[in-house]
Structure 1
Amino acid sequence: MDHDMQKMAMADWLAPVRERGLVPDDAVAAFVVGSAARGWHNARSDFDIYVVTAAERHSETSNSMPVPLDPPRVRSETFYEHDKRWEVTYWLDSQIDQMLAKVSWEVYEAGTVAEDVLSRREELWLGRLGNCLPLFGEEWVDRNRKRLVASAFRSFLVVRSLGDADDAVEDALGQLESGDLESATVSARIAFGHAIDALLEGAGEFGSHLPKWRPNRFKAAAPEALSFEDYWALETMRGYDPADPRPWITDVLTICQDIAMRVETS
Structure 2
Amino acid sequence: MAFEAPSLTLKYGSGREASAEGREALLKGRLAELQLPTAADVHEKYPAFVDASSIFVSGSLIWGWAHANSDLDLYVISKEPFVAGPGMETFERHVSTADPLIWITLGEFGPFRTDIEIWREEQVDEIIDRFAKGVPNQEVPDIGMSEHDMLHRLVSGAPIAGDDWFAARRDAIRAGSFGSWLAESKKLDAEGFLEDVAGLLASGDEHAAVIAAREAFNRSLTGLLALYGEYGVSPKWNFKRVLSAQPAEISKDEAWELITMKGCYEQPGAWAEHAAAVATRLLIAVEEKTA
TM over 0.5: yes
Q: Does 1:128 align with 2:159?
A: no
Alignment match, 1:234: 258
Q: How far, CA to CA, are the matches of 2:46 and 2:270 in structure 1?
A: 60
Change (3 A) 1:5 1:259: farther
Alignment match, 2:179: 154
Q: How far, CA to CA, are the matches of 1:171 and 1:149 in structure 2?
A: 34
Q: 1:16 Cα shift?
A: 4.1
Q: How far, CA to CA, are the matches of 2:108 and 2:159 in structure 1?
A: 21
Structure 2 letter corresponding to 1:226: I
> Which digits, 9 at most, give the CA deviation of each residue in 1:203-257, with x for residues without a partner?
110111x221112111111111111111111111112243x42221111111111
Q: 1:7 Cα shift?
A: 4.4
Alignment match, 1:85: 113
Q: 1:84 Cα shift?
A: 2.0
Q: How far, CA to CA, are the matches of 1:137 and 1:158 in structure 2?
A: 30
SS at 1:27 equivalent: coil
> Which digits, 9 at most, give the CA deviation of each residue in 1:99-156, with x for residues without a partner?
01222355435x236xx33111001110111110110211111111121112111111
Alignment match, 1:35: 60
Alignment match, 2:206: 181
- Which of 263, 266, 271 lines up with 1:248 in the alignment? 271
Q: How far, CA to CA, are the matches of 1:146 and 1:31 in structure 2?
A: 15
Q: How far, CA to CA, are the matches of 1:169 and 1:22 in structure 2?
A: 52
Q: Does 1:45 align with 2:70?
A: yes
Q: Does 1:260 align with 2:267?
A: no
Alignment match, 1:190: 215
> Which digits, 9 at most, give the CA deviation of each residue in 1:52-74, with x for residues without a partner?
11101111622111111132111
CA contact (8 A) 1:28 1:137 kept: yes
Structure 1 letter corresponding to 2:274: D
CA contact (8 A) 2:186 2:220 kept: yes
Q: How far, CA to CA, are the matches of 1:4 and 1:182 in structure 2?
A: 40
Structure 2 letter corresponding to 1:61: E
Aligned-residue RMSD, C-alpha? 2.1
Structure 2 letter corresponding to 1:193: N
Q: Does 1:73 align with 2:101?
A: yes
TM-score (norm 1): 0.89
Alignment match, 2:229: 204
Q: How far, CA to CA, are the matches of 2:228 and 2:158 in structure 1?
A: 20
Q: 1:51 Cα shift?
A: 1.0
Identity percentage over the alignment? Answer: 28
Query: How many equivalent residue pairs?
Result: 257
CA contact (8 A) 2:131 2:177 kept: yes
Change (3 A) 1:70 1:262: same
CA contact (8 A) 2:207 2:269 kept: no
TM-score (norm 2): 0.82
Q: How far, CA to CA, are the matches of 1:221 and 1:212 in structure 2?
A: 16
CA contact (8 A) 2:52 2:76 kept: yes
Structure 1 letter corresponding to 2:268: P
Q: 1:6 Cα shift?
A: 6.5
Q: How far, CA to CA, are the matches of 1:43 and 1:246 in structure 2?
A: 38
Structure number with larger C-alpha Rg: 2
